[in-house]
């Protein structure tokens, strides 16, 4: 049973401009690629609103979810997205797999390849594992697409794309697109240091022309982004330092468009007149030393509450990638308040966005 009247012509146009074989990072995503994902996801969102929510697009293809680290949202939504596109899905659970008998990760990936897998969705606690598997697939000369579903502290591209889709859909439900965010102010608050979600969001949100303000305790901000800034400088990016009382700001200007990124080690300047506030989970599993006095103190200084939102624009919205430590990063009542919270919409957006990614990567094969 399939949904009728799927706008295949719009989808066809999207795939004709899509050349990316793997999705591992958003660092080099172009505005055209962001808009292609947004508009394809928008078409799938419409499909998902129908009584029959399934399309035959990836019939006969196999999508393997190789999650070496735990997940609720990402894993389930990639699985549902693949099923809505009529792909066959394989799910891997490390605890009951042959990893426990000493099989390597690359050999595990090659085992799934031998079963006819067309796309691999990879999550791993170490940065670089999806890239290593993609390199191996390329070396073998097979046309298997690899999607990074979160690797260590590095990146979580599909999360940032669903965050972007959630925001742009709110701003224009009929035509979500990147330039809707131009000159908006977006605060990303909390454990930036350990957050792959923040890293991917920095790429996507700064590509839109938004001002991105990072705020957190100094111990949870990446060494003033020193390495990040140096790396960009080495690649020819212009860097402008600007002092703002106790805060620092960097404006990175790549050749084609400006990226506006600011750092604050107090909350108020980041929240002032913000259009959107994205708060992040404290990644306790990645903290190797005592980086915070206590969760209570963290909440007092950086927790997002109704009271603190008074600093923002009146129509401000709050995002959180989940899972949430209620009462730590965000007050429990605010998290459940539909006037401010986009957390449920983020989860809903995840299915349409992941359908778009699987579709764009897989449709060339059928
Ligand atoms: N946001 C996110 O990646 O959630 P999960 O760990 O539940 O997949």
pTM beyond 0.85: yes
Domains of the chain and any CATH numbers: 8-156+349-365 (3.40.50.1370), 158-347 (3.40.50.1370)
What gap in Å lies between CA 327 and CA 158, rounded to an integer?
26
| 22-53 residue pLDDT tens | 999 998 899 999 999 999 999 999 999 999 99
Structure tokens at 152: 């260590």
What gap in Å lies between CA 139 and CA 161, rounded to an integer?
28
Are 306 and 318 in contact by the 8 Å Cβ rule? The answer is no
Which pLDDT does position 257 carry in this prediction? 60
What gap in Å lies between CA 70 and CA 55, rounded to an integer?
29
Which residues in the chain come in under a pLDDT of 70? 1-13, 15, 223-258, 285-290, 364-366
DSSP per residue over 4-23, as a string?
A: S---HHHHHHHHHH---S-B
Nearest CA to ligand 1 atom 4: 73
Which pLDDT does position 289 carry in this prediction? 65
Structure tokens at 42: 């928008």
Which pLDDT does position 252 carry in this prediction? 47
CB of residue 323 inside a 6 A radius of ligand 1: yes
Strands (E) in 225-311, as ranges, are 238-244, 247-253, 259-264, 276-279
Which pLDDT does position 360 carry in this prediction? 96
DSSP per residue over 21-57, as a string?
A: S-B--STT--HHHHHHHHHHHHHHHHHHTSSS----T
Structure tokens at 90: 């394989």
Mutate to test the pocket of ligand 1, among 65, 74, 159, 353 (most ligand atoms within 8 A of CB): 74
């Amino acid at each position: 049973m399939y949904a009728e009247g799927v706008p295949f012509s719009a989808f066809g146009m999207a795939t004709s401009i899509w050349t990316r074989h793997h999705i591992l990072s958003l660092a080099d995503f172009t505005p055209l690629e962001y808009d292609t994902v947004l508009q394809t996801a928008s078409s799938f969102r419409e499909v998902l609103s129908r009584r029959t929510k399934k399309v035959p697009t990836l019939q006969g293809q196999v999508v393997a979810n190789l999650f070496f680290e735990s997940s609720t949202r990402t894993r389930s939504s990639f699985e549902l997205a693949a099923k809505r596109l009529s792909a066959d899905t394989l799910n891997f659970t490390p605890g009951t797999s042959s990893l426990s008998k000493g099989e390597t990760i690359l050999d595990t990936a090659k085992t799934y390849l031998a079963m006819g897998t067309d796309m691999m969705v990879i999550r791993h606690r170490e940065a670089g594992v999806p890239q290593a598997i993609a390199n191996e697939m390329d070396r073998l000369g097979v046309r298997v697409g690899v999607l990074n579903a979160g690797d260590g502290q590095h990146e979580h591209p599909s999360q940032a794309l669903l965050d972007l889709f959630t925001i742009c859909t709110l701003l224009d439900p009929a035509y979500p697109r990147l330039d809707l965010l131009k000159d908006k102010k977006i605060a990303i608050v909390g454990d930036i240091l350990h957050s792959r979600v923040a890293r991917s969001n920095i790429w996507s949100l700064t590509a839109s022309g938004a001002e991105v303000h990072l705020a957190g305790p100094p111990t949870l901000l990446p060494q003033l982004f020193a390495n990040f800034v140096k790396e960009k400088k080495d690649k020819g990016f212009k860097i402008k330092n600007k002092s703002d009382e106790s805060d620092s700001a960097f404006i990175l200007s790549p050749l084609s468009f400006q990226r506006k990124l600011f750092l604050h080690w107090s909350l108020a300047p980041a929240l002032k007149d913000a259009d959107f506030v994205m708060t992040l989970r404290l990644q306790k599993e990645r903290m190797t030393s005592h980086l915070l006095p206590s969760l209570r103190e963290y909440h007092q200084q950086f927790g997002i509450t109704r009271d603190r939102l008074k600093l923002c624009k009146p129509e401000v919205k709050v995002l959180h990638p989940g899972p949430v430590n209620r009462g730590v990063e965000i007050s429990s009542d605010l998290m459940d308040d539909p006037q401010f919270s986009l957390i449920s919409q983020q989860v809903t957006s995840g299915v349409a966005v992941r359908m778009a990614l699987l579709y764009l990567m897989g449709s060339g094969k059928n």
